[in-house]
Amino acid sequence: MTPGSGLLGGAGRASVTLLIFAVAIFALMELAPGDPMAQVPLSVPDEVKQEMRRALGLGEPAYVRFGLWLWQLCVIEPLTGLDALLGTQLAGGQSRILSWQARAPVMQIVASHLPQTLWVVGLAYVVGVAIALPLGICQAWRQHSVFDRAGTAVTMLAYSVPPFLSGVVLIAVFSVWLGWLPSIYDTTHRVEDWSDLWVQARQMILPVAVLSIQTTALIARYTRAAVLENLRMDHVRTARSKGLSEASVLARHVLRQSMIPVVTVIALGLPQVFGGAVVTEQIFLVNGLGHLLISSIEANDLPVVRTVTFLMAVLIVLANLAADVTCRLLDPRIGAHD
Amino acid sequence: MIIKRAVAVLSAVSILAISATEALAEASGKPPDDRLTIVSWQAPSTLNPYLSAGAKDVEAASLVLEPLARIAPDGQLVAWLAEEIPTRANGGQSADLKSLTWRLRDGLSWSDGSAVTAQDVAFTWRYCTAEGLGCAQAAKFDGIEDIETPDARTAVIRFAAPRPNPYSAFVGAQSPILQRAQFAPCLPPQGTDCATVNFAPVGTGPFMVAEFRPNDVIRLAANPQYRTPAQPVFGEVVLKGGGDAESAARAVFQTGEADYATNLQLAPDMLSRMAGGGTGVIETAFGPLVEYISLNLTDPDPVHGPARATPAHPHPVLSDARVRKALSLALDRAALVEIGYGAAGRVTCNIVVAPEHFASTANDGCKTQDIEAARALLAEAGWHDSDADGIRDKDGRALTLSFQTSTNRVRQDFQAIIKHWWAQIGVGTELRNINASVFFGSDPASPDTFQKFHADVQMFASMFDGTDPEAFLRNWRCDRIPSPENGWQGSNIPRLCDAGYDALTDRLEHAATPQERAGLVRALNDRLVTDHVLLPLVARGRVSGRAQGLAGVEINPWDSEFWNIAQWHRRAE
Amino acid sequence: MTEPVKHRPAPRLQRAPGLLRRRLGGHPGAVAGGLVFALICMAVFPGALLWGGDPAAVDLGNRNAPSGLAHPLGTDHLGRDMLARVLTGGRVSIAVGIAAMLLALGLGTLIGAAAGLSRRLDGPLMRLTDLFLALPLLPLLLVVMMLFRDALAGWLGPQGGVFVLIVGAVGITSWMTTARVVRAEVLALKERDFIRAARAMGVSDMGLVRHHILPNVAAPILVSASLGIASAILTESALSFLGLGFPPDFPTWGRLVSDASVYLLEYPGRVVWPGMAISLTVLSVTWMADALGDALDPRRAAPG
């Protein structure tokens, strides 16, 4: 099988998968009870609401709307993206996927919510992973020590405290009582010099702290379990008996194998950055993609929900593929003999 | 060893961080005095009130777009872009009540410098009534045949039928004037991608849009073309959305990060505690919003199949007026207000609670709870607890009611309390709460919409636009009953059919004098309430918070809260 | 022809009776975790009955009362006894937490193991996992509620129906992490020498899974178990918060925490008591899971 045909086959399989995803997402949102007019005040008469529904395109049958959405998603949006990059006119002004609440292109709204999502939620994820890995490894290394037991208690306690509690407590201490840090995230703040960067950092500290608590707990637990599993392997004992120091035993023999489940969990959590941190985004008014998704679900703004969910599905598939590739790199035996 | 070192490093770093933060907390500047920061926790998604009727969008748009007339906090009309309010007395309204002449002020200009003309007024009507636009405010333009523009400053509205109360179009924040030059390309069918226009409309208001991020934040700058010199006082407004009522209240009352926060639906003791801190002040205003219970006069039993909750099957229990009255007598409305709303609510026994001349005084007896009388009424109606399980029964049917409402902390508390009171008079209650996006929607597949009323008791809130409740009272006519034939569309939720009531609404349609209208409105209200089909509970007010130093705020329950934002200023400390 | 060698179970999991029990019994984590968990269960099941307070009894004359004899944990903003609410709430929370966690674990292990072992099933199953990860929770649950609520209420009565619905809803939305992790472990294990040796000996696939693979993937499964209980209890509270769970006057720990979160700074006890109950349950399950992990792996040094 030539690399070319392998790639083509892979692309074909991926397209089929994505098509099935699109159908499933569309079908789910169609089945789910809800009405974009539910948030319209009751003082608006029913006939007006019917007209509004018709203007949004809800008069068409489901398969027509699905086809239109798919066409817009796969053809018009990428063309519009190319137009923006290269200054061409490929999309020809055809109508893009429009949000029902804002009557504006969904991609434009997503793009405006992206920066704060990456700054806050993305950074929190990185911080969480950066703390969790050494924490879990040290816990496993010093199993049954005070550090291990305390670490377990602290991480599980932290995990069972929901973000709306930890967020409120942190705000009460640092914003209200001490007045050191702001409680509202300013999304229009532009970083142009060092003092701007400092302001940006200050407004990020609390939401990043709240978010990374959950991530840290999750990844630390999996890391600890995985490292424990591998610390007592025979080949590790052999290495120790050969006279290698604990540190190099850890680094050379244990870590590679332990990272397999850990990488899997990290990859699983990554796409959640783009849709998962709803409560924290709400408490700090970060207004990222998680908040956009949940408020669109509440308002039954189906184009936004469908499109963002589809994008998340694509991200999840990519993240998991990346995890699989990394696992194979870590342990070349995986998948070698099938 | 490593652990010890790590702990040492960590403590050093944290000490450094803390001291640095402290030092810079003083150094970092507060927001400039010239900027007004508003937190509106329901973030606006568009600035075109014709595309979205949601209060969050209408209020945000009112900073930029203005109507011909506004409604002042006392309920009186105030000429805004118009020179004066046209009435019969000054000849603005014709003798046959079929035309209304508005005259624009002299020298009005849009924020881009061009002149405001009557053509813009006529265009706004054409825009909202355009086929295929789905204008959310179309009801405001009902019955308008044409708008003539005899000259650049005069617009004559011609109605198809005589209209004693013609002040619906172009009055209030819901129907402002749009600039024809900007919005003309947005008329359907070609105007689908008008996002730039909807996000930055050109208006006559005190502010213009500098940056709009939907569902996030709006930055506005003062309008240099604003008609009153030295206004607006603030040079910049930032309207931040997102979060919830608690974070909004915190920003004004505790951290001082915002100057004004709207729609503070909080637990009353939490709100009063926050306001007690001294950094902020609560502003309340009472308009027509009323929270009430609706009793189903039809039987929602699933055994009736598709005819459930239709007038074909009257309710076996609630059709009896004595049972309904007993349910109302068991309620202690003052306790409900105290627990749920505090200063943001008032006990009411009317469905039409405001303006004052429309509020009836005939029903105030409902304000006192009378458990004994309720028990007596139920016994009189034949309901006795024959099996001593605490719930009355009659002819083998237990007096249990299903009570549903939308998911909302205060409503769930009310449900728990009302269940407790009804248990005291021997009525059993099953509680359900339904997600608001399902409850208030009209998804034909969902059995949980409020219009389908597949339960015995429902609770929610209603209000009307403007100061005249005629359209509101028409909601309970016989021809407004939701049924499977009309797709469950209809506003007569309790399925009341009273010929006398319908006759009165017809008379109201033609009543010309204010006294006659007031009398009819009160009569209609009394009919609804004495029948105990609707049990009014709380007149809910608007609650907002403002910083101590913010002056000029006059909270308005009839129009936008920002109706006089041009005059807001910071009081010198 | 010689008979095929009779398959003997690998020495990983000793069949010697009582070894597991002995290893667990000496483990302080197991003892502590087991004791705390037993205490909690006793408090919420028979304890609630003994205390006798009605969790739904509204008493408007006695709102926001501090702790006293009649109400050891005070009353809430409607005058309901906090102790009764915490104890009764525990029943549902623990039952939902454990049931949903077991469901999610079972589903996840099944799918993960199947995906890891069979190359044909790997692709479709992993894409199914990705799909479930991507689908938004609220509409998915609304659809499930809409489709199954009445049917289940018909079979099991309204309370039972909602319980099964919630357990199912939480279960089908939390199996994905376990599936991915188990699959990764299985893929790694498949290539280990002892597995290949067992295969060469002629061990059936089922036998392979039962005796060789499952005990070795126990570690991440046990981690998922402890994390799963915490997230199941909290997800149930999110469901009730959205109106999809138990009726509003039905206390559960998660609901108590989210209802009281507005009063965090004035009446912290209302948040702290149910919150601590959740945390203690989670911790005790974590200790027991860790102890089980240590016991199952004879090479992990039991604490001296």
pLDDT digits (tens, 9 = 90+) for A151-206: 888 888 888 888 778 888 888 899 888 889 998 998 888 888 888 899 999 999 99
pLDDT of B9 higher than 70 = no
Distance CA(B142)–CA(B145), nearest Å, equals: 9
Cα–Cα distance for residue pair B436/B495, rounded to 1 Å? 22
Over the stretch A264-274, which tens digit does the pLDDT of each residue have? 889 888 887 77
Residue from A20, A146, A160, A230 to probe the interface with C (highest C Cβ count within 10 Å): A160
Q: Using an 8 Å Cβ cutoff, are B175 and B49 in contact?
A: yes
The pLDDT of residue C2 is 55
Residue B94: helix, strand or coil by DSSP?
A: coil
Q: Report pLDDT digits (tens) over A121-132.
A: 889 999 999 999
| Tens-digit pLDDT profile for residues A277-308 | 888 888 889 998 988 988 898 888 999 999 99
pLDDT at C5 over 90: no
Residue B383 CA: distances (Å) to CA of B81, B126, B532: 61, 59, 18
Residue C72: per-residue pLDDT: 87
pLDDT in tens, B388-422: 888 999 988 999 999 999 988 899 999 999 999 99
Flag whether residue B334 sits within 8 Å of chain C, measured between CB atoms.
Answer: no
Average pLDDT for C261-269: 83
Q: Examine the pLDDT at A111 and tell me if it is beyond 70.
A: yes
CA-based Rg of chain A, rounded to a whole angstrom? Answer: 24
A175 with B439: Cβ contact below 8 A: no
d(CA B264, CA B261): 7
pLDDT digits (tens, 9 = 90+) for C33-86: 888 988 888 888 888 778 877 888 888 888 888 888 888 888 888 889 999 999
Q: C99 pLDDT band (50/70/90 cuts)?
A: very high
- Chain A 188-247, residues with CB within 8 Å of chain C CB atoms: 217-218, 221-222, 225-226, 228-229, 232-233
A174 interface with C at CB cutoff 8 Å:
no
Chains that touch B (3 or more CB pairs under 8 A): A, C
Question: Among A223-227, B172-176, C253-257, which range has the highest average pLDDT?
Answer: B172-176
* B214 in Cβ contact with B199 (< 8 Å): yes
Confidence of residue C304 (pLDDT cuts 50, 70, 90): very low
Beta bridge pairs of residue B298? B314
Q: Looking at the predicted structure, is the pLDDT value of residue B294 above 60?
A: yes
Residue A125: the pLDDT is 93
pLDDT in tens, B190-213: 666 688 899 999 999 999 999 999
**Is the pLDDT assigned to residue C14 strictly greater than 50?**
no
- Of C209 and B386, the one with more pLDDT: B386
What would the mean pLDDT of A113-118 be, rounded to a whole number? 90
**Per-chain mean pLDDT for chain C:** 81
Q: What is the ipTM of this complex?
A: 0.86
Chain A residue closest in CA terms to C27: A144
Q: Is the pLDDT of residue B349 over 90?
A: yes
Task: Kindly state whether B429 is in contact with chain C, defined as any CB-CB distance less than 8 angstroms.
Answer: no
Give the max Cα distance, chain A.
84
Q: Which chain B residues contact residue A103 at CB under 8 A?
A: 46, 48, 51, 194-195, 198
Closest CA to C135 of A310, B446, A280, A304: A310
* pLDDT cut 70: percent of chain A above it: 96
Question: Where does the pLDDT of residue B117 fall: very low under 50, low under 70, confident under 90, or very high at 90 and above?
Answer: very high
Chain-chain contact of C243 with B339 (C-beta, under 8 angstroms): no
DSSP notation for A113-177: HHHHIIIIIIHHHHHHHHHHHHHHHHHHHTTTSHHHHHHHHHHHHHHHS-HHHHHHHHIIIIIII
Average pLDDT, chain B: 90
Report the C-alpha gap between B411 and A301 in whole angstroms: 25
What's the mean pLDDT when you consider all of chain A? 86
Smallest CA–CA distance, residue C234 to chain A, in Å, is: 7
d(CA B543, CA B285): 7
Structure tokens at A52: 């509004």
Residue whose token pair is 């201490």: A173
pLDDT tens profile B494-506:
999 999 999 999 9
Amino acid making up residue B228: T
- Domains of chain C: residue spans and CATH: 19-49+76-295 (1.10.3720.10)
Give pLDDT tens digits for B232-242: 999 999 999 98
| Cβ atoms of B535 and B295 closer than 8 Å | yes
Share of chain C above pLDDT 90, in %: 6
Rounded Cα–Cα distance for residues B334 and B369 (Å): 9
- CB contact under 8 Å between B195 and A108, yes or no, is yes
Of C135, C181, C304, the CB nearest to A265: C181
**Distances from the Cα of B209 to the Cα of A99, B34, B367, angstroms:** 21, 16, 47
Query: In 3D, which of B211, B205, B210, B209 has the Cα closest to residue B225?
Result: B205
pLDDT at B26: 46
Size of interface B-C (CB pairs under 8 A): 63
B474-484 burial, b for 16+ CB within 10 Å, e for fewer? bbbbeebbbbe
Identity of the residue in A38, A56, A176 whose CB atom sits nearest the CB atom of B134: A56
The b/e string for A235-257 (b: 16+ C-beta within 10 A; e otherwise) is ebeebeeeebeeeebbeebbbeb
Cα gap B529→B362, rounded to integer Å: 10
**Would you state the structure tokens that stand for residue A300, as one six-digit string?**
């039954």
DSSP string computed for C43-99: IIIIIHHHH---TT---GGGTT--S-SS-TT-B-TT--BHHHHHHHHHHHHHHHHHH
Give residue A326's Cα distance to chain centre. 19
The residue whose two tokens read 């099944």 is C110
End-to-end CA distance of chain A: 16
**What confidence score (pLDDT) does residue B28 get?**
44
Q: By mean pLDDT, which of B286-300, B337-351, B431-445 is the weakest?
A: B431-445
Q: Can you tell me the distance from the alpha carbon of B292 to that of B459, in angstroms, rounded to the nearest whole number?
A: 6
* Partner-chain residue, chosen from B273, B407, B446, that has the shortest CB–CB distance to C266: B273
Cα–Cα distance, B274 to B250 (Å, whole number): 8
Q: Do C243 and B431 touch (CB under 8 A)?
A: no
* Whole-angstrom distance, CA of residue A75 vs CA of residue A88: 15
List, for residues C135-147, the tens digit of each pLDDT value: 877 788 878 877 8
Burial group, residue B267, by CB count within 10 angstroms (0-12, 13-18, 19+): buried
Give whichever of C3-7, C12-16, C110-114, C262-266 has the largest mean pLDDT: C110-114
Residue pair B353/B557 in contact (Cβ under 8 Å)? The answer is no
Q: Which of C133, C253, B541, C13 is nearest to A264 (CA)?
A: C133
Residues of C in contact with B409 (CB under 8 A): 259, 262
pLDDT score at B2: 65
B270 and C262 within 8 Å at the Cβ level: the answer is yes
In Å, how far are C21, C171, C291 from C218, measured between CA atoms?
A: 17, 19, 12
DSSP B261: E
Rounded to a whole number of angstroms, the distance from the CA of B245 to the nearest CA of chain A is: 10
Mean pLDDT of B325-339: 95
Residue of A29, A47, A48 for testing the chain B interface, max B β-carbons within 10 Å: A48
Q: Measure the CA–CA gap between B121 and A108, rounded to whole angstroms.
A: 31
Choose the weakest-confidence range: B315-319, B472-476, C2-6, C42-46. C2-6
CB contact under 8 A, C140 and A28: yes
Note whether B38 and A182 are within 8 A (CB).
no
Phi-psi region of C58 (alpha: psi -120 to 50; beta: other; left: phi over 0): beta
Measure the CA–CA gap between A236 and A240, rounded to whole angstroms. Answer: 6
User: Inter-chain contact C184–A313, Cβ cutoff 8 Å?
Assistant: no
How many angstroms from the chain centroid is the CA of residue A255? 26
Among A53, A56, A102, whose Cβ lies nearest the Cβ of B46? A102
CA A101 to chain centre: 24
Residue whose C-alpha is closest to residue A322's, from A277, A276, A271, A272: A271
8 Å CB contact of C135 and A24: yes
The CA R_g of chain B, rounded to the nearest whole Å, is: 27
Contact between chains at A293 and C271 (C-beta distance less than 8 A): no
Average pLDDT value for residue range A56-73 = 91
Burial bucket for residue B499 (CB in 10 Å: 0-12, 13-18, 19+): exposed
